[in-house]
Structure 1
């Protein structure tokens, strides 16, 4: 393990120059305090966990100090927001501090979110608030524990600075980690501004840094696109299997790595509702839970359009045609594992849909129901209104399991006990806004091991209380 002073930087994206990003210095928080840190995220860059106790740790991740080797840059990009193209977005409140290389030769972006205004802030203050910073931290660390690819969060700091959103809140910063912060919107920006030389430069950079194996393909750019497509649809299949709603799947929020990225008004389902909308600004339901696979396909088509100067259109269309079959196969694989169904049977999709429809009708809790089915099939009966219909389904389900029992032992390993429900996050936020960070830290620790029952943590397995059901979450931060 290493210290903060010994981190090794290799700022490859900054080396691309001013066409791709702008130099910006962080605007530090006043009187910064550490809210929470992640030992798992620190390990990704070989950082000793004891460093989180140092004053330097808080200073670096609240913008007060910089490494001499870091080179803070605000990245430029564009994107489709709620289906409408926005010509210039960019890092309006975040800075890429630099790229750290760990002992395994892996590059990790250090991205400081909430670091003040940039050339892309569009009249905004460039700040993040404590509420949204805690939510992103918790999700960034909870999703990988569930096996869902995601950016990571190293820590949250808070200051005394007032920030005005729907109400006055306190400014905070989140340090985000990812192997790359390149988004679909990066390619769209250079395509729509007709900067095709810069687009080619970005493509080559992405091939080199993110998809080096594609460079050996007959058509490297097409191969890269296929890799992005497969990763993206596999990620969304995991969202659907584990009841995760992203809430704002704009193309500028889609990672070129196929990882969950830019958390805003996200939510895990409580009761099962296929059409659940977690973003109170999504009045048309564009990003409803059951639309996420189709939106991912749509976003991939936007990326494909941006690559047309360098890939044949028909080849891109052929690739896009594989997206939904890829998603469906991966989603069914995941749900078979959750239900203890070995192999593949023609009736699997219909049997799964029957279960989900009964859950919808009964407003069954998605996570509790699936966990009960994994622990003891019959005990899940109490989650359903029409018990006779459930009994008929259960008979078919048990027959499906009996046909090949090899998958039964693994059910508990893919049905979580603990899920980041909105009400749990809100309880932690409410306490943190009163300078009590203990609940954020406790919840974070519980979510690190979601599949194992932990002594004394029964409160985190409960369905939401009345006040915590269907909480409205906004995009504002």
Structure 2
């Protein structure tokens, strides 16, 4: 028999709870309580995000906070629920899915707008599909750190407030310990929510969901003669911007199923993700992705494929199929423009010129030929205008002749008058710190021994990844040889 919450709800000072999603009705979710974990403990708390949410620091340090964010205690005003959705997984229709291990606690008003609070790993739901509803310490730390790393990079993302742990055992590839990550977002609605109601023929619910999203997140679409086509176009353009940000940062998501695509254009559901070490356009970060569907260089096209699925789901609400196709076309324009703009910033080019596209393409080809470390190359390039900086970049390449030809092309595109501005722009665009797999693995192994200092250190660095952080150069160095052997899968 599962343990139950039998204590009265506690108050969280200063917070006013609501839940707009719950107003959609019972077709969209199941109300249920989290399943408590024995003897919970703090792994890490994100005090910066807590402040943005309006959480008082003294309350966040309390036993009540530990209990609420583990799922062992309710707070006053909560209406916990798990939502239903469907989706395409690895290109195949998977049918009904849903929040198999996530429970939405509710929504709070913040200075930055309403934010939903969700527990991931808080027990089984009606949508768990033979799963146990739990998350493990390893995956919870990875999501906690990476969502904050993405936020630090300025990439749209869900965020993570805290991680709590328990010695309760969870079976994955091996026996691990349980954990709960508390994550926040303006909304956790996915493409798969729309697919669920469209494929099941529930067109009234589909319309209610689309109206909800328009009214709360895309109000400009309401003024259109074709609001649902405009919604599809707006989501397409946000997703295009997100893909440009991923590609520029060298980020691989690893499992871009339609149920893992945010209707708000946010990075969501961190599982087998990876920031590139060596630049390999065909890199597959997900050990479960045996066909390479979600390789780094395929992400932009997969995003468009997923948008096409969303367009199909919205067809019952869009007057003509041609309108849906026209709405999707914007992706093909916005993505290359957004990627080129981000790459110009990384190269330190203050204005756009016709020859920039060739320079960007040649840069990618040069990095791929020698599999140069992606993050270190861009950070060193910030100092390219000095003789020492230029030599440091050259040292990254085995093909010196290829580098020298590229360097000449790059130098001809820049001018000495732009040196100061160029370096400043590039240092604010090319991070020194990203969440490399080996850094996360080291923090996780220490955490398994109840040493959470590595998690705390990484959180500090990743929240300000463009800063120097003296004394932490080892966190910005080349990965060790053993890093290449790390395997991450859908259980990560």
> Which of the five TM-score ranges fits, normalised by the shorter chain?
over 0.9
Counterparts of 1:470 and 1:242, CA distance in 2: 22
Q: Is the 8 A contact 1:11 1:99 kept in 2?
A: yes
Kept in 1, the 8 Å contact 2:119–2:180? The answer is yes
Deviation string, structure 1 residues 303-362 (Cα, Å, up to 9, x no partner): 000110111210111121221221111001001011112322222222222222121121
Aligned residue in 1 for 2:222: 215
Q: Which residue of 2 aligns with 1:253?
A: 260
Change in Cα spacing, 1:396 to 1:52, as seen in structure 2 (3 Å) is same
Q: Is the 8 A contact 2:14 2:54 kept in 1?
A: no
TM-score w.r.t. length of structure 1: 0.97
The answer to whether the 8 Å contact 1:246/1:265 transfers is yes
Inter-CA distance 409–446: structure 2 relative to 1 (3 Å threshold): closer
Which moves more between the two structures, 211-220 or 307-316?
211-220
Aligned to 1:124: 131
Q: Distance in 2 between matches of 1:344 and 1:43?
A: 39
Pair 1:180 & 2:195 matched? no
**Deviations, residues 98-125 of structure 1 (Å, cap 9, x unaligned):** 1111245x21111100011110001111
Aligned twin of 2:410: 397
Q: 1:359 aligns with which of 353, 367, 372?
A: 367
| Aligned-partner Cα distance in 2 for 1:170–1:85 | 32
| Aligned residue in 2 for 1:107 | 114
**SS, match of residue 116 in structure 2:** strand
* Residue matched to 2:26: 18
Q: Indicate the residue corresponding to 2:324 in structure 1.
A: 316
Match of residue 137, structure 1, among 117, 138, 144: 144
Whole-angstrom CA distance in 2 between matches of 1:272 and 1:230: 27
Distance in 2 (CA, whole Å) between partners of 1:292 and 1:58 is 37
Cross-structure match for 1:437:
452
Q: In structure 2, what is the Cα distance between the partners aligned to 1:404 and 1:156?
A: 48
SS state at 1:173 partner: strand
Q: Deviations over 1:183-203 (max 9, x none)?
A: 000000000000001101111
1:289 and 2:296 matched = yes
> 2: distance between equivalents of 1:103 and 1:399?
46
Q: Residues of 2 paired with 1:188 and 1:12: CA distance? A: 20
Q: Residue 147 of structure 1: which of 135, 139, 154 is its match?
A: 154
Consecutive unaligned residues of structure 1, counting only runs of 5 or more, are none
Q: 3-state SS of the aligned residue for 2:316?
A: coil
Q: CA deviation at 1:470?
A: 5.3
Q: Is the 1:8–1:102 contact (alpha carbons within 8 Å) kept by the matching residues of 2?
A: no
Look up the SS of the partner of 1:35 in the other structure: strand
Indicate the residue corresponding to 1:388 in structure 2: 401
Say if 2:107 and 2:117, in contact at 8 Å, map to a contact too.
yes
Aligned to 2:475: 460
Mapped pair 1:171 → 2:184: no
TM-score by length of 2: 0.94
1:64-90: CA deviations, max 9, x gaps? Answer: 111121011010000000000111000
Counterpart for residue 195 of structure 1 = 202
* Aligned equivalents of 2:52, 2:207: Cα separation in 1: 31
Contact 2:168 2:178 (C-alpha < 8 Å) held by counterparts = yes
CA distance in 2, matches of 1:367, 1:325: 27
CA RMSD in angstroms, aligned pairs only: 1.4
In 2, are the aligned partners of 1:163 and 1:171 still within 8 Å (CA)? yes
Secondary structure of the corresponding residue to residue 474 of structure 1: coil
**CA drift at 1:404:** 7.6
- CA distance 1:470–1:415, change in 2 (3 Å): farther
Counterpart secondary structure, 2:241: helix
Please give the residue correspondences for 1:228-243 in structure 2 after superposition, counting only pairs within 5 Å.
Answer: 228-243=235-250
- The separation in 1 between residues aligned to 2:275 and 2:444, in whole angstroms, is 17
Work out whether residues 401 and 408 of structure 1, in 8 Å CA contact, stay in contact via their aligned partners in 2.
Answer: no
Partner Cα distance (2:182, 2:457) in 1: 19
Report what 1:347 is aligned to: 355
Q: Report the Cα distance in structure 2 between the residues aligned to 1:103 and 1:411, rounded to whole angstroms.
A: 31
| 1:11-38 residue CA offsets vs partner (Å, 9 max, x unmatched) | 1111222100001110011100010111
Tell me, in whole angstroms, the C-alpha distance in 2 between the residues paired with 1:274 and 1:261.
22
Aligned to 1:475: 490
Superimposed CA distance per residue, residues 135-190 of structure 1 (whole angstroms, 9 cap, x where no aligned partner):
00001101011011100000000011100000000010010100001000000000
Which residue is 2:6 aligned to? none
Query: Does the aligned pair in 1 maintain the 2:195–2:310 contact within 8 Å?
Result: yes
- Does residue 272 of structure 1 match 2:279? yes
Contact conserved, 1:341 with 1:408, CA < 8 A, in 2?
no
Aligned to 2:391: 378
Query: What SS does the aligned partner of 2:88 have?
Result: strand
- Aligned residue number for residue 57 of structure 1: 65
Distance 2:486 2:338 in 1: 30
Alpha-carbon distance between aligned partners in 2 of 1:470 and 1:444, rounded to the nearest angstrom = 24
Mark the runs of 5 or more structure 2 residues left unpaired by the alignment.
1-10, 385-389
